[in-house]
Amino acid sequence: MSTAARTTWLRELIRKPFFWGVIAIFALLALNVIKDPNYLALSVNPVNGNLVGNVVDILRASAPILMIAVGMSLVIATGGIDLSVGSVMAVSGAVAMVFMKDAGQSGSVGVALGAIGLALLVSAILGAINGVLVAYIGLQPFISTLIMMLAGRGIAKVITEGQNTSATNDPFRWIANGFVIGLPVVFLFAIIIVIIVGLVVRRSALGLMIEAIGINPKASRMAGIKPTGLLLTVYILSAVLAGVAGIMSVGTVMTVDVSRTGYQMELDAILAVVIGGTSLAGGKFSIGGAVVGALLIATLDKTIVFLGISSSATPAFKAIVIVVLCLLQSDRVRGWFVQRRKPPMLRTPSLPAEPKKQEVSA
Amino acid sequence: MTEPLPIVEMRDISIEFPGVKALDGVDFRLFQGEVHALMGENGAGKSTLIKALTGVYKIDGGSIIVAGQERQFHGTRDAQSAGVSTVYQEVNLVTNLSIGENVMLGHEIRGTFGVNWRATHAAATDALAKLGLEYLDTHKPLSTLSIAMQQLVAISRAMAVKAKVLILDEPTSSLDAAEVEGLFAVMRTLRDQGVAILFVSHFLDQIYAISDRLTILRNGRYEGEYLTRDLDRHALISKMIGKDLGALSSLGGNRRVEQRDYDAEAPLLAAKGLGRQGSIEPTDLDIHTGEVVGFAGLLGSGRTELARLLYGADRAGEGELTLHGKRVDLKNPADGLGKRIAFSTENRRDEGIVADLTVRENMILAIQAERGWARPIPRKEQDELVEKYITALNVRPADPNRLIKNLSGGNQQKVLLGRWLATKPELLILDEPTRGIDVGAKAEIQEAVAQLAEDGVSVVFISSELEEVVRLSERIVVLKDHQKIGEIVNGPGVTAQQIVDVIAAHGVAAAAESDIIDAEADVEPSNDPDTAHTPASAEEES
């Protein structure tokens, strides 16, 4: 009896789309521990009482990915995609840096808040343009946000006049590098924002409606849902979250490098969403899954550095991990495993598929 | 009796889908130089038969003989090389290629250095000339042509491969009367050239105007093959429906109606000249409070199109709609919902359910949409509401948290009915609410409709089953060929047959005597079924 109950419980857990993401995080951490048994060790900095350690670094690095992954999961749930998040990060970072550089006053909280407010406002405007193109003009989300992805870098360059721009502002810097009760501020901020977004989406009917239009846009329209306002909201939200990610990202070094900040982050965000179990076809989404996905991407990035994998092999290593993960999530592959335990019938056709997929992704 | 050999002969064809026998021992013959109509209601197996003939489906039994040779089709290419070409309902062309490229796609004439475009365009012009379309510039993009002309291009594309058999699946569904005439002229030209044409249309007038012979299918079975001139409309319809007209007549109007004084009572909703180009001719219509109005007509008669205008699912192109005496313009479903109108679609899977959501979520979707996402319905209220309709409509299983896609069709329909009832509509439009669901669920839905009317809700009830319309409706609006052709006040004497009469005899004779309010008054009796004209549309606006 109890064995049966445990089996169903386990099976339920394995069914959770982000189960393999969690497993992968632990596997990567284990890999690092094999290389250095002290990898997981946390110590307290005796001067300021902050926690120091690799795990803390991972959490800090995950903050911007968390932001864009959560926004992306909502966009993808509507059946769309937002390729512009990386560029919006650059624009947001550029706006903040240029504002603070011009304002001076390196200790002023007001200047920091002004920079953040302006950066988020500009991000929201870019998101609104995406939203209008998709919802009112009816362009394909891929195209609309691809335009914004290209235009965004250009806008960032115009704002900074093409220069890497640095500024000094201690309150702003604190957001990315500070600690509260021993934990990195940036991660706390990220988690708080994720929780707020999660609450808004699930406690209001926003989540239900996003899922409805993602699953069946026609039926949703017939049920009286107006998709335009909803899509606009979602694209603005995604861009604002990207703006937050941009602030976190430039805050670490207090410099915006318009060609590097947020570069290819849209791909990380999409991967995080997929790893979290949200289908790219739209419909049901999981914010918890996106969080797991973002943490996994951050862990993976840090692991690559820690294991000393040469930078030329980095994309391939990343691709392999993600392909394996996607294969584990695929119902068909799982079907093969089930069948393999019984008669090993469909084994042969399953094998050629794997190396092929890896090549494509790498 | 020296009948020529048929160019296509399908013998004893059976096709099975999991759990369903889509075709069961169907015979079909097609001769050179004839237009052969394939008739049957929705789901009778017309499309399945066509897909068997074009190699889309593999047949499970029987044989297909083309030009005296038994063939095994393993794909559309096999069928094409045997000389069977198809033009589907939706035109399958590449709109951003040129006309000539479309005609010759896949059959371009090759020279030493790849495609010889000059020769290809010349060949395209030749192919078009066969249909009398030589005036088209083959270099222009296809998208510059109207849908009707694109359809003709699609036909010449089919003919460019030297097809002996041409299959036209619902080619007229989106054409107006003049365009249909153009198409028929092309079909006659091809027929005279010896091409065998298989034609499917829901418009009976068109069948009588163009076809020489017809085969009737019903529920996947072969019903018979007839010369079109030997079979009158009554006989045709009753063979399609599968009920003897005598049997239909025995069903009476069961609904007891207190006679309304329609002139004295202000209608809840009034449409004046409401129409939309290409889908429904301008229509006048009144709907009173607590009244069940049936829309009767065959599929494609315009009954759904009219209903969609009343909800805002499509926006009316002309005419006006008044509600409670005030003029309204319904731009989208949300507008309709805001005016206390609800519309349950005939297309349950595509436009009704949101498959991956739960019963509860599906049920509250419309009221939630109306409130907006910022004002969520509290969980307690949701539960009460869902509980109420699950009980009232007897949804099984009575589990609000089950995904709706895992329910049977009838129970999905009940959930959708619950969704619309929850919006507390003044006017509820039900388009084929009982199609494809089991008998028990059907009766429960009919009961619910009758109860609603008692409670003062106006209902528009659309169904292909005329008995059902007669049983439930107080008034029956009869539609045909995208226009309203009559209105019958229901009473003990009204039967399904009278509706069949009105549909079949449209323009020929005034149907059921005194029960008809304003049918036929201004339609001249020249629409004889034997004349080659399609009285389908524009000239007859009233």
What is the percentage of chain B residues whose pLDDT exceeds 90?
30
Lowest average pLDDT, out of A28-37, A338-347, B171-180, B264-273, goes to A338-347
Contact A225 B369 (CB under 8 A): yes
* DSSP output for B27-70: EEEE-TT-EEEEE--TTSSHHHHHHHHTTSS--SEEEEEETTEE
Separation between Cα atoms, residue A64 and residue A58, nearest integer Å: 11
B159 confidence band (pLDDT: 50, 70, 90)? confident
Contact A225 B419 (CB under 8 A): no
Per-residue pLDDT tens over the stretch B30-67: 999 999 999 887 667 888 898 888 888 888 889 999 88
pLDDT value at B2 more than 60: no
Collapsed DSSP state (helix, strand, coil) of residue B462 = strand
B254 confidence band (pLDDT: 50, 70, 90)? very low
CB pairs under 8 A between A and B: 80
- The residue ranking higher by pLDDT, A353 or B471, is B471
Give the pLDDT score at B4: 74
Domain count, chain A: 1
Full domain range(s) for residue A240: 17-314
Give the pLDDT score at B90: 60
Distance from CA of B448 to the nearest CA of A (A): 20
**Residue of A219, A221, A226 with shortest CB distance to B353:** A219
String of b and e for B463-495 (b: at least 16 CB within 10 Å)?
bbebbbbbbbbbbbbbbbbbbbbbbbbbeeebb
Give the pLDDT score at B510: 38
How far apart are the two ends of chain B, measured CA to CA in Å?
A: 49
Residue in A234, A320, A287, A215 with CA at minimum distance from that of residue A18: A287
Strand-pair category, B292-296 with B318-323: unpaired
- Picking from A222, A230, A278, A286 by the largest number of B CB atoms within 10 A of its own CB, the best residue to mutate is A222
Contact B352 A219 (CB under 8 A): yes
**Residue of B313, B338, B373 with shortest CB distance to A205:** B373
Are B193 and B70 members of one domain?
yes
Contact A216 B353 (CB under 8 A): yes
Full domain range(s) for residue B471: 247-253+261-340+464-542
Lowest average pLDDT, out of A62-66, B360-364, B514-518, goes to B514-518
8 A C-beta contact, residue B342 and residue B425: yes
CATH number at residue A177: 1.10.3470
Contact A206 B373 (CB under 8 A): yes
Last residue of a domain, one of B205, B222, B246: B246
| Residue B396 domain flag | no
Write down the residue that tokens 């619902």 correspond to. B170
* Residues found in chain B: 542
Are B199 and B278 members of one domain?
no
pLDDT value at B399 more than 60: yes
Last residue of a domain, one of B246, B271, B286: B246
- Picking from B311, B360, B365 by the largest number of A CB atoms within 10 A of its own CB, the best residue to mutate is B365
| Residue B500 domain flag | yes
Contact A208 B361 (CB under 8 A): yes
Separation between Cα atoms, residue B369 and residue B366, nearest integer Å: 5
Q: Is A221 on the interface with B (CB under 8 A)?
A: yes
Among chain A residues, the shortest Cα distance to B375 is held by A204
Distance from CA of B106 to the nearest CA of A (A): 29
Residue in A244, A24, A259 with CA at minimum distance from that of residue A163: A259
User: Considering only CB atoms, which chain A residues are within 8 Å of B377?
Assistant: 205
User: Considering only CB atoms, which chain B residues are within 8 Å of A211?
Assistant: 354, 356-357
**Residue of A204, A205, A215 with shortest CB distance to B357:** A215
User: Considering only CB atoms, which chain A residues are within 8 Å of B368?
Assistant: 205, 208-209
Q: Is A137 on the interface with B (CB under 8 A)?
A: no
User: Considering only CB atoms, which chain B residues are within 8 Å of A203?
Assistant: 376
Distance from CA of B378 to the nearest CA of A (A): 9
Residue in B199, B176, B178, B177 with CA at minimum distance from that of residue B187: B199
Contact A209 B419 (CB under 8 A): no
User: Considering only CB atoms, which chain A residues are within 8 Å of B337?
Assistant: 224
Q: Is B375 on the interface with A (CB under 8 A)?
A: yes
Collapsed DSSP state (helix, strand, coil) of residue A131 = helix
8 A C-beta contact, residue A117 and residue A89: no
**Residue of B338, B350, B374 with shortest CB distance to A219:** B350
Contact A205 B371 (CB under 8 A): yes
Q: How far is CA B113 from CA B100, B124, B408, B498, B535, in A?
A: 19, 20, 59, 68, 52
* Residues found in chain A: 362
Are B69 and B163 members of one domain?
yes
Contact A224 B370 (CB under 8 A): yes
- Burial environment of residue A332 by CB neighbours within 10 A (0 to 12, 13 to 18, 19 or more): exposed
Give the pLDDT score at B237: 78
The mean per-residue pLDDT over the stretch B111-119 comes to 85
| Residue A163 domain flag | yes
Give the pLDDT score at A153: 94
Strand-pair category, A255-256 with B458-462: unpaired
| Residue B410 domain flag | no
Give the pLDDT score at B246: 46
Phi, psi of A72, deg, nearest 5:
-65, -35
Phi, psi of A99, deg, nearest 5:
-60, -45
Write down the residue that tokens 């399945």 correspond to. B48
Domain count, chain B: 2
- Enter the tokens of residue A283: 């419909």
Q: How far is CA B460 from CA A65, B314, B433, B451, in A?
A: 53, 17, 11, 14
Q: Is A204 on the interface with B (CB under 8 A)?
A: yes
User: Considering only CB atoms, which chain B residues are within 8 Å of A221?
Assistant: 332-333
Contact B333 A222 (CB under 8 A): yes
H or E element in which residue A108 lies? none
Are B236 and B266 members of one domain?
no
**Residue of B357, B371, B419 with shortest CB distance to A211:** B357
Contact B355 A206 (CB under 8 A): no
8 A C-beta contact, residue A87 and residue A153: yes
Q: Is B483 on the interface with A (CB under 8 A)?
A: no
| Residue A269 domain flag | yes
Last residue of a domain, one of B246, B279, B305: B246
Contact A205 B368 (CB under 8 A): yes
String of b and e for A69-86 (b: at least 16 CB within 10 Å)?
bbbbbbbbbbbbbbbbbb
- Enter the tokens of residue B197: 């044409």
Are B292 and B225 members of one domain?
no
Q: Centre a 10 Å sphere on the Cβ of residue B423 and count the other Cβ atoms it contains.
A: 20
Q: Is B337 on the interface with A (CB under 8 A)?
A: yes
Q: Is B392 on the interface with A (CB under 8 A)?
A: no
CA B497 centroid distance within chain = 21
Whole-model pTM over 0.80: no
8 A C-beta contact, residue A78 and residue A214: yes
8 A C-beta contact, residue A17 and residue A289: yes
| Residue A203 domain flag | yes
Give the pLDDT score at B523: 35
Per-residue pLDDT tens over the stretch B212-252: 999 998 878 898 999 999 888 878 877 887 765 444 433 33
Q: How many CA atoms lie within 13 A of A316 on its CB side?
A: 7
Give the pLDDT score at B54: 86
Are B66 and B39 members of one domain?
yes
Distance from CA of A280 to the nearest CA of B (A): 15
Strand-pair category, B84-87 with B165-169: parallel
Query: Sign of torsion, CA B366 B367 B372 B375?
Result: negative
Question: Which residues in chain A come in under a pLDDT of 70?
Answer: 1-6, 337-362
Among chain B residues, the shortest Cα distance to A214 is held by B354
Among chain A residues, the shortest Cα distance to B420 is held by A223
| Residue B40 domain flag | yes
Separation between Cα atoms, residue B356 and residue B362, nearest integer Å: 9
Q: Is A283 on the interface with B (CB under 8 A)?
A: yes
String of b and e for B506-521 (b: at least 16 CB within 10 Å)?
bbbebbbeebbeebbe
Are B152 and B230 members of one domain?
yes
Q: How far is CA B53 from CA B43, B61, B414, in A?
A: 17, 13, 38
pLDDT value at B515 more than 90: no
Contact A205 B375 (CB under 8 A): yes
Collapsed DSSP state (helix, strand, coil) of residue B297 = coil
Alpha helices in B324-403 (DSSP H): 333-338, 359-371, 379-392
Q: Is A159 on the interface with B (CB under 8 A)?
A: no
| Residue B371 domain flag | no
Distance from CA of B372 to the nearest CA of A (A): 8
Phi, psi of B122, deg, nearest 5:
-65, -45
What is the spatial order of strands in the sheet that B427-431 belongs to? B341-344, B427-431, B458-462, B292-296, B475-480, B483-489
Among chain A residues, the shortest Cα distance to B334 is held by A224
8 A C-beta contact, residue A277 and residue A329: yes
User: Considering only CB atoms, which chain B residues are within 8 Å of A285?
Assistant: none
Q: Could you tell me how many helices (H) and strands (E) chain A has, helices first?
A: 16, 6
8 A C-beta contact, residue A291 and residue A222: no
Separation between Cα atoms, residue B349 and residue A172, nearest integer Å: 52
* DSSP output for A170-211: HHHHHHHH-EETTEEHHHHHHHHHHHHHHHHHHHSSHHHHHH
Residue in A186, A176, A210, A192 with CA at minimum distance from that of residue A282: A210
Give the pLDDT score at B439: 62
Distance from CA of A43 to the nearest CA of B (A): 45
Write down the residue that tokens 């709706």 correspond to. B404
Contact A215 B334 (CB under 8 A): no
User: Considering only CB atoms, which chain B residues are within 8 Å of A208?
Assistant: 357, 361, 365, 368, 373
**Residue of A209, A219, A220 with shortest CB distance to B373:** A209
B344 confidence band (pLDDT: 50, 70, 90)? very high
Phi, psi of A313, deg, nearest 5:
-90, -5
Are B174 and B87 members of one domain?
yes
Are B75 and B190 members of one domain?
yes
Are B106 and B159 members of one domain?
yes
Among chain A residues, the shortest Cα distance to B349 is held by A219
| Residue B97 domain flag | yes
CATH number at residue B187: 3.40.50.300
